[in-house]
Structure 1
């Protein structure tokens, strides 16, 4: 015991140990669930930012404007 002088822990050592413990706990993050294949006809709610003039163009046609935007996006995507 007399071979090595006892030194108090320094802030750096405690921080290093805390970071190592944190990494150990957070490194084993569960993989996200596998994405299921889209079912035809089922729509997913999202947030989409569209220029005001484009939105007004589709809304001028009255009810069904969201379906018209969806159809325009399908056409643009080649579907």
Structure 2
């Protein structure tokens, strides 16, 4: 008489647990590209620490002082291309 266990290549409980784990485990998503190209003219919100004299200089003409700081900084950045 043949042994019943010899006909089963794997433990049914382990096979069921492995199938359940495979069905319920999330596959890792591909990582987001680390270097995203920003849209031309796109701006980012940042926190920047400035000397009070610098801040006063740009704020003295009223609203738009952040744009004026941005314009001044752009003149210091070399153009690409």
TM range (shorter): 0.5 to 0.7
Q: Which runs of 5+ in 2 are unaligned?
A: 1-30
Confirm or deny that 1:41 pairs with 2:41: yes
Equivalences for residues 1-79 of structure 1 within 5 A? 33-79=33-79
| Runs (5+) with no aligned partner, structure 1 | 1-30
Q: CA RMSD in A?
A: 1.8
User: Which structure 1 residue ranges, 4+ long, deviate > 3 Å from structure 2?
Assistant: none
Find the counterpart in structure 1 of residue 6 from structure 2: none
Aligned partners of 1:39 and 1:32: how far apart in 2?
17
1:57 alignment partner, SS class: helix
**How far, CA to CA, are the matches of 1:54 and 1:45 in structure 2?**
19
